[in-house]
Amino acid sequence: MELKTFRGGLHPPDNKKWSDKKAIEVCPLAEGDELVIHLSQHIGAPAEACVKKGDLVKKGQVIGTPKGFVSVPIHASTSGEVIAVEPRIASAGTMLPAVVIKADGEDAWDEGLVGGDPDTMTPDEIKDKIKDAGIVGMGGATFPTHVKLSPPEDKKIEYLILNGVECEPYLTADDRLMLEDPESIVEGILILKKVLGVDKAIIGIEANKPDAIETMTNACAGKGVEVGALKVQYPQGAEKQLIFALTGREVPSGGLPMDCGVVVQNVGTAAAVNDAVRKGIPLIERIATVSGAAIAEPKNLKIKIGQPLSKLVEFCGGIKGDLGKVIQGGPMMGMAAVSLDVPATRGTSGVLLFAEDQVLKEPEGPCVRCGNCVRACPAFIMPTEIATMARNSMFDEAEKLNAMDCIECGCCTYICPARIPLIQSLRQAKGAILAKRRKV
């Protein structure tokens, strides 16, 4: 059978063998450990701290209240004492407001957390539960889930697509989740289907995860959920590309998936939705892959939000050889972390440690007009042209060249024989265009 896919893209070595057979382990938390929980871990308005220094908090207690619709609450990942409410360093090197909790080692749950039976709840009640639990897109983009589940009246949603593609090299967190907890995912999907009122749900999984495809197919049997096997091709897991591969529909330029009748959720999000609705458990833990050439023992970990990356690395046997670069997220789209002291957030799908000799240090060369970036671009834009405009601060021209269609997948930069950091220019152009739009 011909596997479904999208147009453009490329196929980097997936490097998943290092961790894809490793069962998920819980990253331990000892008494006295400090958790730095940032108040802005999602796209949208940051939450506002509702605890102060000296307060005692329980696991799952709200410590940050949302401001606005596109925002979610933030919860304590463990029980303990709040020792500071102040700006702390975040992954990108900037100081962001955070609540620092000193763990008391008891890890005691907040007793106010109650679940419900999704069969007897109305869609709005379920959505409120999802919002209160702080559920965001677990693929890494961290867009508030309740917003995605609230399409305007005039947009009819026909498909719910579950993203189990995990096309980023190295990462195996979603793969392991599908193997170890398929029931939670399927239950979560059924809840999401009810909220959206759709009949069709498809789980997209790349063909390099045959075990996950089999497990999910068995778990979905008789539940009205399909499993779609997809060609191994990056960025198969990008929302718009995944929609095209599975349904043949194209999201219009500047539009959202709901414009073509689709809502996409990560499989991890589905499992989190299930926990939130049935048990009332907020998003305080997630699964992350720790891998790369500079880690002693690659693992899949269940981490607490706020644990410093150094703890994760320590649990995986520490650094092996010369550490060159730490990436939070996948190698294609993730961001370099300024140090191992930064905390894990709701978007930490992976922590990748690369060796010194794996870091590209050669300077960029001139563009040789080979067109590789244009062919590889899954959004059908011309990265090299837009990058040139961005470098000369010609952002209006960049906008005319559809810079805003860029999904920041990094294919152009990966394929460029002249090693031009095209994606940096594209991000710069997008940032400038957005800033200009906000001003108008």
Which stretch, 8-16, 86-94, 131-139, 208-216, contacts another protein (CB under 8 A)? 86-94
Q: Which residue has the tokens 């069709």?
A: 200
Q: What residues does 81 pair with on adjacent strands?
A: 56, 102
Can residue 428 be called a binding residue for another protein (CB under 8 A)?
yes
**CA dist., res. 339 & res. 334, Å (int):** 14
Minimum distance from residue 92 beta carbon to another protein (Å)? 5
Look up residue 426 and give its two tokens: 């594209």
Minimum distance from residue 325 beta carbon to another protein (Å)? 9
Which stretch, 24-32, 152-160, 277-285, 417-425, contacts another protein (CB under 8 A)? 417-425
Q: Which is nearer to another protein, 150 or 310 (CB)?
A: 310
Q: Which is nearer to another protein, 186 or 390 (CB)?
A: 390
Helix residue ranges, H only, 345-421: 372-376, 383-391, 395-400, 411-415
Radius of gyration of the chain (CA): 21
Can residue 421 be called a binding residue for another protein (CB under 8 A)?
yes
SS3 helix, strand, coil % of the chain, rounded to 5?
Answer: 30, 20, 50
Minimum distance from residue 94 beta carbon to another protein (Å)? 5
Candidates 87, 93, 318, 371; binder of another protein (CB under 8 A) is: 93
Which stretch, 191-199, 315-323, 366-374, 420-428, contacts another protein (CB under 8 A)? 420-428
Minimum distance from residue 145 beta carbon to another protein (Å)? 28
Can residue 365 be called a binding residue for another protein (CB under 8 A)?
no
Q: CB neighbours (10 Å) of residue 357?
A: 10
Can residue 94 be called a binding residue for another protein (CB under 8 A)?
yes
Candidates 54, 424, 434, 437; binder of another protein (CB under 8 A) is: 424
Q: Using CB under 8 A, which residues numbered 342 to 361 contact another protein?
A: 359-361
**CA dist., res. 320 & res. 296, Å (int):** 5
Helix residue ranges, H only, 224-330: 239-247, 267-274, 309-315
- Report in angstroms the alpha-carbon separations of 287 from 63, 186, 392, 397: 22, 17, 41, 41
Candidates 176, 425, 426, 430; binder of another protein (CB under 8 A) is: 425
Identify the DSSP state of 28: P
Look up residue 439 and give its two tokens: 């001003």
Positions in the binding site for another protein (CB under 8 A)? 92-94, 336, 338, 359-361, 363-364, 391, 393, 421, 424-425, 427-428, 431
